Homo-oligomer: A and B are copies of this chain.
Amino acid sequence: MKKDEPKVAFFVTGNIHKFHEAQAVISQFGIATAMLNIEALEIQDDDIKTIAKTSAKDAALNSDLAVFVEDAGLFVKALNGFPGPYSSYVYRTIGTRGLLKLMEGISQRNAYFQSVVAFCNPFQKAQPMCFEGRVYGKLSLQERGERGFGFDPIFQPVNAQNNRTFAEMTTEEKNRWSHRALALEKFAKWYEHSPREKS
């Protein structure tokens, strides 16, 4: 065990933007993040915790490495949680405009973004651990802003200055509010003090 070397956390993702977002948060805790671009099982389930845990376990057992995954979704109250765990598919098909159309004439516009980081160590019984982040807010009446990705242009977090959407914020500013940053921070705080792997 070499105590002076930084700890490394293996992030299973094929999304370079997600990777950079994670790296920025996790590096604050003196932890290096490595991108592990391997296939991980992604199941269908209404609960993204279940989806993330299954992915983490599958990736850990297949790679023989302690790894983490991150899964997120936007849950709209008036739409019974839609698009939820399938936010990425819904974004690719009907997009932000489709979601706004579904919300036409609906005054109850509450929604939240949920992020789950699941970590799994294949050498310790392979029981995945979950770290969750949520940010509550409202859907805007129209798209605003060019930054971020996915449904960012129509999501206004609670207490955001001037009702700005995620897409109107810099990455730094968004990371102060974001569900993903929150979940990653919880994970990093725990991982920082977790026992090292044998080397």
Which residues of A line the B interface, CB within 8 A? 41-44, 46, 51, 79-86, 89-90, 92-94, 98, 101-102, 104
Contact = CB atoms under 8 A, between A and B. Distances in A.
Contacts of A81: 93
A38 B89 CA distance: 27
Contact of A93 (B42, B82, B101): B82
* 3 A-B pairs with least C-beta separation: A82-B93, A80-B93, A42-B44
A80 B92 contact: yes
A90 B98 CA distance: 13
Given A42-B44, A43-B44, 4 more contacts: A46-B89, A82-B94, A83-B93, A101-B102
- Of the listed residues A44, A98, A102, the one surrounded by the most CB atoms of chain B closer than 10 A to its CB is A44
Nearest to A101: B102
A92 B83 CA distance: 11
Contacts of A93: 79-84
6 contacts: A41-B41, A81-B93, A82-B94, A82-B98, A98-B102, A101-B104
B94 A79 contact: yes
A43 B41 contact: yes
A81 B46 CA distance: 21
A102 B97 CA distance: 10
Contacts of A42: 43-44
